[in-house]
Chain A
Amino acid sequence: MTPEEFAERIKAKFEGVEIKITENKLPHPRKRIWVDVDRDRFKDVVKFLKELDPTAQFSIIIADDRGDKLTAKYHWEMFWEQGESLSVVIGTACPKDDPVLPTITDIFPSTLPYEREVQEFLGIKYEGIPDPRRLFLPDDFPEGIYPLRLDETGVKMVKNAGHPYGRKSK
């Protein structure tokens, strides 16, 4: 399946979904599909991916603080059994005052550790996540602090962290 065909399939099934195909300039050009979908239909798109290729391999959740909203981009590698694979990035977003996204661990079980990671670092709550414990952060890390957020709930640069021999903070 070529990237264009894939984009057509998605477009036919889900109206109004933003799709763009980028190409890089390596000696062998390489296309990537970027899909943007609202969070209500996000889970349906993921289900559709699984229907298209049951062996699709999930790689990463890129969660980002974009001011008033939190975005999450999921990367899949599809049709890897047929040589050149399809690199698909599906992005979704949620507002910061209601940071909830649907979990997709029931469709792709391998997303669980990534969702746990995003949950503790950016404070996106996953609805129905089977294991909401912390993964990277220590258990006594304060609640309500999300290290990778860029607003006041994030971590500020601490001047010298109590270092008496360091530079004096100005």
Chain B
Amino acid sequence: MNEKVEYWVKIPIGPIHPALEEPEKFIITLDGERIINVDVKLGYNLRGVEWIGLRRNYIHILYLAERMCGICSFSHNHTYARAVEEMAGIEVPERAEYIRVIVGELERIHSHLLNLGVVAHSIGYDTVLHLSWLAREKVMDILEFIGGNRVNYSINMIGGVRRDITEKHRRAILDMIYYYRQEVMPKIEEIFLYDPTVEARLRDSTVIPKRIAIEYSAQGPTARGSGITKDVRYNEKLGVYPDLGVKPVTPKEFTGVIKGDVFDRMVVRVGELWQSMEIIERALDQMPEGKIKAFPKDNMIIFKLKKAEGEGIGRYEAPRGELIHYVRAEPGRDGPAKWKMREPTFPNLFAVARALVGEQLADVPVAIASIDPCLSCTDRVAVIDANTGKKKVLTEVDLLKESIKKTKEINPNIKAKPERVGGVGL
């Protein structure tokens, strides 16, 4: 008998698991420590954004788009604004384009620093997590200074931006770049390019070869780590990016080899930190004077868009990869007839699930972290329907009542009434 008995174990990673920042489910079939199969189930974070969008007007959606995700909030409303501008043929002032570049690159810095920490945490290197997130505070402060918020800065408006970058912002940004160049980047390079533990864990783990990356349409650093020179800012000639000399960053420029493993993806992120700082500096230098909005009043936008007809696509290189929004207008509506978006995590998730087959269980958290998953972006489309659903869906107040019932069992003296939290239906 040559038949080998296989002892396969099915392990669910998620929906709630310490390795994941957001709920999703990977069902992993294991033979010992080796992975046989990975199945992905999404939808634990569905909020029905697309559906809500059909009931909002163009300006409302700017703020709704921003709230899809806390990390790439600028990317979402930037891309949405571009889609609407393309649909209606609105021309954006050049200064506004430069401001979009600067805020976009600041967001990229903060997103990449976050991901460096998350990857370090998933290999148990918590010191790097704490120190890189400490460094990230600086750029968060700058974003707060410019936009008024640490996340959801609401910079974009259809046909321009809402806030200008003045001389004091410019000085603060240059200070920040100096701080990063002098103090943060050398340490980050030391850790992610030369540290032996990091190299032992990240090198040759979860290799996504170039062929797989193309087949599965991997995006962003995940694709560039596999040697695909694809960057929407460069390929799409987006905005004023061609004037700033943007090029896709591949690990070849840093380590000389392209393997497509987790290490290479992190090298790309480190390279893009350098690149983003250069772009910001150049943008600050070249930024022309002028107005920052195509329409001085927001109600003019609605007025113009109500008459618009057609469809438009906006594409942007979010920190995680290509983000794409589609908007179709019908005349007479003050909101889009169709609004659809796709986030880079969606294809990357399936690429990495494919690449995990044959690897060890220990690679799963770091592999998932290495694509920098943004699942709240990815899960956004469905709606829970309490009336048509066969199962009874407990609403918030039912839960509240249950909770109060339980509290009263424990302590009958408590007098509380269920309070309304959050919004009501329209």
Contact = CB atoms under 8 A, between A and B. Distances in A.
B169 to A, nearest CB: 22
A121 B382 contact: yes
Most chain A CB within 10 A, of B41, B216, B385, is at B385
A2 interface: no
B320 to A, nearest CB: 14
B217 A135 contact: no
Interface residues on B, range: 35 or more
A113 B350 contact: yes
Interface string B407-426: 00000000000101000111
A162 B386 contact: yes
Interface string A131-162: 00011111011100101100000011111111
B42 interface: yes
Contacts of A110: 215-217, 347, 350-351
B421 to A, nearest CB: 10
Interface stretch (B84-92, B121-129, B141-149, B299-307): B84-92
A40 interface: no
Contacts of A62: 326, 338, 340
Contacts of A140: 389-391
A81 interface: yes
Given A160-B425, A163-B425, A64 B328 contact: yes
Contact of A30 (B236, B390, B424): B236
Contacts of B67: none
A48 to B, nearest CB: 18
B51 A142 contact: no
Contacts of A148: 50-51, 381
A77 to B, nearest CB: 7
Most chain A CB within 10 A, of B418, B420, B424, is at B424
Interface in A1-56: 22, 24-28, 30, 32, 34, 55
B366 interface: no
Contact of B340 (A60, A83, A162): A60
A55 B214 contact: yes
Interface in B26-75: 40-43, 46, 48, 50-51, 55
B234 to A, nearest CB: 7
Contact of B397 (A26, A158, A159, A163): A163
B315 A87 contact: yes
A160 B217 CA distance: 41
Contacts of A114: 342, 346
Most chain A CB within 10 A, of B315, B340, B382, B386, is at B382
14 contacts: A27-B240, A28-B237, A60-B326, A62-B340, A75-B324, A75-B326, A77-B230, A84-B237, A85-B235, A108-B215, A113-B347, A114-B346, A165-B420, A167-B425
Given A30-B236, A113-B346, A147-B385, 18 more contacts: A34-B311, A59-B315, A60-B340, A62-B338, A62-B340, A77-B230, A83-B234, A117-B381, A121-B382, A135-B40, A137-B46, A140-B390, A141-B389, A159-B425, A161-B386, A163-B395, A166-B425, A167-B425
Q: Which 9 A-B residue pairs are closest in the complex by CB-CB distance?
A: A136-B43, A166-B424, A110-B217, A85-B235, A60-B342, A28-B237, A24-B86, A25-B91, A160-B425
